[in-house]
Amino acid sequence: MTYDQFFEGLPAKEMWGERIYITGDFNYPDSLNSAVELLDQNITRGFGNRPAIFYKDKRYTYNELAEIVGKMGNALRKLGVQKGDRILLRFPNNPTAVALWLATLRIGAIAVMVMPMLRARELSYRTNDSECLLVLCDAASIDEVRKAQPAMDTVMKILICDGKDDVYESFEDHWMRESADCKSENTLRSDIALIGYTSGSTGDPKATVHFHDDVLAIADGYAKNTLHPTEHDIFSGHPSLSFTFGLGGLLVFPFRFGASVALLDQFTPENMLKTLVNYKCTIGFCAPTCYNMMMRLDEKGEYDLSNLRLGVSAGETLPKVVYDKWKAKYGIDLLDGIGSTEMLHIFITNKPHDVKGGATGKPVSGYVAKIIDDNGTELPPNTPGLLAVKGPTGCRYLKKPERQAGYVKDGWNIPGDVFLQDSDGWFYYQCRNDDLIITGGYNVSPPELEAVINEHEAVKESAVVPKPDELRGQIVKAYVVLAPTHKGSETLAKNIQDFVKRELAPYKYPREVEFIEALPRTDTGKVQRFVLRDRAAKEVS
């Protein structure tokens, strides 16, 4: 792959968010391989026999993980993977996912990690958009890959892990016979390491491109200066490694500092609490909804969280009432923060012993932020406006120049969130500037969901809006106009919900379906979403 091909699809450099380095934490050499920094350096520091991963009844040291990663890297090279090739990784949070991600970056390839919940159409879109040549998938979730394969235009080979299949080869049969001595690729700090997908309010998911120095910057900015981790910390949480929130908190952060991670492949409040207790975890990563669920389950205080020193909250704003209840119950700070897939991780946060309930926080070390109006003019304190941010990471959309132009203005990244900043420098989240629905920490794009609902034979058209919910923050509600030959019923509503679950990741389905005669529209025919949002909100007021 040539240099130009490696970076094909990126916006012109003048369209990137300006990357600034205002502290000394980001002085990286030009030659930089983030997988080597996250794994090999821990062995060099004498941490080889320390635990890297706890998973169920297994424990992997850094030495053991390095051996697996080396074998996997050699196997990938023998399969023909070269520097710059994209590999789709579809796994739950388990050691295989971690090792494969590190092996991919080690040989200079690009990791495209996706959730096991995604359906065939979502998988084929991502493989084609990112031009993946290879798909590696957990055997338990191979069925949707099988369905997607005919529509995967660039994929040359599909392999399964942690199981057997009658059609696809086992990757274990390749890597287990390889040598563990795998020479790392001489990548540059500005070479692409990963592609992460985000959902917004404009339909198709957007691919965000991140370099090897971005991977380290989120650890050396946020984790180092906010969490102050050491090799004795044990991280855990529920976010998928395919989300940059989970990738940072459960892989990059612990490995950057020689710490450990206790992986949880399936979230329930009980599983999360047991994991925190059994492994004596010290730092947790969860969405606010999940902290709330855990408190409800642990009503009698039967779970000993005395080892937990910090909880990190992101994915949706942390309600002050949840923070207050958690602090009162466990005596532990929950650090609210906001980040984005475009910026790779959190850029505004509360800090230990400097927490203000209800506030999102202040800029992470290395970042600067301000509040602007639609023209880019900075607004005075206590005035709501658009958040603008700069730092050592920045937005780079793949093949989306028009979206890039909307996200980056004069070098500032504009995530689309409305905030206000008080006179003391605290940032307070107000709302989204678009129609994105955040439910239980997951992002749902209304246009994407509406397009699928409208494919149902009984549906004429639909509009999807958030409805306030005490547990999840918001739920997805669909207002549906039926075709003339169909009549609304509970059975039909469930049929539509099941249809969506088959076509999209299950978390996206509308938890409520209401049939209406017509969608409210402007004189020019545009759906008035605010009317439906207000209608849904009044149902719970």
pLDDT tens digits for range 218-234: 999 999 999 999 999 99
In this structure, is residue 406 part of a structural domain?
yes
In this structure, is residue 415 part of a structural domain?
yes
Label residues 106-125 b or e (16+ Cβ within 10 Å = b): bbbbbbbbbbbbbbbebbbb
Label each residue of 390-429 as H, E or C: EECCCCCECCCHHHHHHHEECCEECCCEEEEECCCCCEEE
Say whether both 286 and 412 belong to one domain: yes
In this structure, is residue 204 part of a structural domain?
no
Given this model, what pLDDT does residue 111 score?
98
343 neighbors 353 (Cβ within 8 angstroms): no
Burial of 130 (0-12, 13-18, 19+ CB in 10 A): buried
- At 315, the pLDDT band (50, 70, 90 cuts) reads confident
Say whether both 62 and 74 belong to one domain: yes
Given this model, what pLDDT does residue 374 score?
87
pLDDT tens digits for range 353-406: 899 888 999 999 999 999 999 899 999 999 888 999 999 999 999 999 999 999
Task: Please indicate whether residue 225 or residue 435 has the higher confidence score (pLDDT).
Answer: 225
> Minimum mean pLDDT among 150-154, 199-203, 374-378, 473-477: which range?
199-203
- At 6, the pLDDT band (50, 70, 90 cuts) reads low
Say whether both 424 and 469 belong to one domain: no
221 neighbors 25 (Cβ within 8 angstroms): yes
Give me 121's structure tokens.
Answer: 């159409």
Task: Name the average pLDDT for the chain.
Answer: 93
Say whether both 442 and 426 belong to one domain: no
User: CA of 103: how far to CAs of 72, 256, 463, in Å?
Assistant: 6, 16, 43
In this structure, is residue 201 part of a structural domain?
no
Rounded Cα distance, 90 and 74, in Å: 20
Say whether both 398 and 330 belong to one domain: yes
In this structure, is residue 306 part of a structural domain?
yes
Say whether both 309 and 393 belong to one domain: yes
The pLDDT of residue 292 is above 60: yes
The pLDDT of residue 515 is above 50: yes
Say whether both 275 and 391 belong to one domain: yes
Burial of 368 (0-12, 13-18, 19+ CB in 10 A): middle
In this structure, is residue 121 part of a structural domain?
yes
- At 88, the pLDDT band (50, 70, 90 cuts) reads very high
Given this model, what pLDDT does residue 417 score?
87
The pLDDT of residue 349 is above 70: yes
Q: Which residues form the domain of 523?
A: 437-538
Last residue in a domain, options 380, 413, 434? 434
Last residue in a domain, options 187, 202, 234? 187
238 neighbors 290 (Cβ within 8 angstroms): yes
- Nearest of 111, 52, 464, 470 to residue 263 by alpha carbon: 52
- At 42, the pLDDT band (50, 70, 90 cuts) reads very high
In this structure, is residue 194 part of a structural domain?
no
Query: Do β-strands 334-339 and 408-409 pair in parallel, antiparallel, or remain unpaired?
Result: unpaired
User: What is the identity of the amino acid at 380?
Assistant: P
Say whether both 370 and 462 belong to one domain: no
Q: In the chain, how many domains are there?
A: 3
- At 198, the pLDDT band (50, 70, 90 cuts) reads confident
Given this model, what pLDDT does residue 1 score?
52
Last residue in a domain, options 404, 434, 464? 434
Q: What is the mean pLDDT of residues 284-293?
A: 90
Say whether both 171 and 306 belong to one domain: no
User: What is the identity of the amino acid at 478?
Assistant: A
Say whether both 462 and 418 belong to one domain: no
CATH code: domain of residue 120: 3.40.50.980
Say whether both 411 and 306 belong to one domain: yes
In this structure, is residue 15 part of a structural domain?
no
End-to-end CA, the chain: 58
Give me 534's structure tokens.
Answer: 């207000």
CATH code: domain of residue 514: 3.30.300.30
pLDDT tens digits for range 47-81: 999 999 999 999 999 999 999 999 999 999 999 99
Q: What is the mean pLDDT of residues 471-497?
A: 95
pTM of the model: 0.87
Rounded Cα distance, 151 and 153, in Å: 6
User: CA of 53: how far to CAs of 65, 207, 424, in Å?
Assistant: 8, 29, 41
